[in-house]
């Protein structure tokens, strides 16, 4: 993964954290502002690259809330402690895909980022899943430690 950029992100309290190996540097990411009611209310902006790699870890699985709506084909990983959803996953034909909430990336600045608006409301199910297969992150690993670790409030400042 030498040609990838390591981008770290997490929810507000640090219970869900991830490393995204991106073929693009943070400054070049294009984030998508989905116009659905849920994403609009949360202000989420999503980024993904089909060649990217997402490695995510949850410290306390009991504090995770999965949220589904609409076509029920994606899971929003909401932290039950702070309410932030750092990423969304979709399982298609037993393969896992994901997009990250760019707002949860360290160093991401929405005011200077390339943000595109997207309205997927007219997509049929087949088109939606096909879009995810071709544009979402295709290499996704999500782990839950055997012994829950309670992160301290300074988690975001302790990265190595």
pLDDT digits (tens, 9 = 90+) for 45-77: 999 999 999 999 999 999 999 999 989 999 999
Residue 106 has pLDDT above 70, yes or no: yes
Higher pLDDT, 136 or 110: 136
**Whole-angstrom Cα distance, residue 20 to residue 31?**
14
**pTM for the whole structure:** 0.86
Domain count, the chain: 1
Query: Is 134 part of any domain?
Result: yes
Query: Is 95 part of any domain?
Result: yes
Query: Is 153 part of any domain?
Result: no
Q: Is 127 helix (H, G, I), strand (E, B) or coil?
A: helix
Domain carrying residue 89: 5-147
CATH number of the domain bearing residue 102: 2.170.150.70
Query: Is 50 part of any domain?
Result: yes
**Whole-angstrom Cα distance, residue 108 to residue 27?**
8
| Region 106-128 average pLDDT | 91
Task: Please state which of the ranges 5-14, 55-64, 102-111, 143-152 shows the lowest mean pLDDT.
Answer: 143-152
Alpha helices (H) in 86-158, listed in sequence order:
125-135
Query: Is 158 part of any domain?
Result: no
| Region 12-21 average pLDDT | 96
Query: Is 152 part of any domain?
Result: no
- CB-CB contact of 144 with 77 (8 Å): no
Antiparallel, parallel or unpaired: β 95-101 and 46-47: antiparallel
| Region 89-115 average pLDDT | 93
């Amino acid at each position: 993964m030498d040609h990838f950029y390591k981008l770290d992100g997490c929810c507000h309290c640090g219970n869900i954290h991830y490393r995204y190996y991106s073929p693009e540097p943070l400054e070049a990411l294009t984030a998508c502002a989905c116009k659905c009611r849920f994403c609009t209310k949360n202000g989420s902006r999503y980024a993904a690259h089909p060649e990217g790699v997402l490695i995510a870890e949850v410290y306390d699985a009991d504090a995770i809330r999965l949220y589904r709506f609409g076509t029920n084909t994606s899971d929003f990983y909401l932290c039950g402690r702070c309410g932030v959803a750092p990423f969304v996953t979709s399982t298609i034909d037993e393969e896992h895909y994901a997009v990250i909430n760019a707002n949860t990336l360290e160093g991401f600045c929405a005011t200077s980022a390339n943000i595109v608006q997207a309205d997927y409301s007219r997509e049929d199910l087949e088109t939606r899943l096909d879009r995810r297969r071709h544009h979402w992150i295709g290499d996704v690993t999500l782990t839950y430690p055997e012994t829950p670790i309670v992160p301290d409030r300074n988690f975001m400042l302790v990265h190595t």
